[in-house]
Amino acid sequence: MSSAKPGPEQDPGPFRSSRELRPGLVVFDRGYQMPAVVRQVDGLWVELARPTGMEWRVTFYRLRRATAWEHRQLAAVGALHRQRQKGRADGPRPCPSPPQAPRPRP
């Protein structure tokens, strides 16, 4: 199994109808050029979300099924976001002091 990004020949086509979408499905938004999870389908409109908290609405024809590589990309973004949020929960960290220049000898 290759971890390389898929080429155009492996790129799934767009959805033909919003009825093909359901909450929880991982899709790729061709406008934003990023994978996301379907939160809700409302006629032609689809609400999407990313693990970082970013949410937006698009028309279904901008979407296509996410590839295996894009599934892994979305999972990695979620893991990184959780790790960074965990680091923030520990409280503010002191800024490191700048390195001191050596003092010239008299």
Q: 80 near 51, Cβ under 8 Å?
A: no
| pTM, entire model | 0.70
* pLDDT confidence of residue 85: 84
The string of pLDDT tens digits covering residues 48-79 is 999 999 999 999 999 999 999 999 999 999 99
DSSP annotation of 24: T
Q: Tell how strand 45-49 and strand 63-65 pair up.
A: unpaired
Predicted local distance difference test score (pLDDT) of residue 67: 96
CB 35 within 8 A of CB 70: yes
- Going along the chain from its start, the domains and CATH numbers come out as 13-87 (2.30.30)
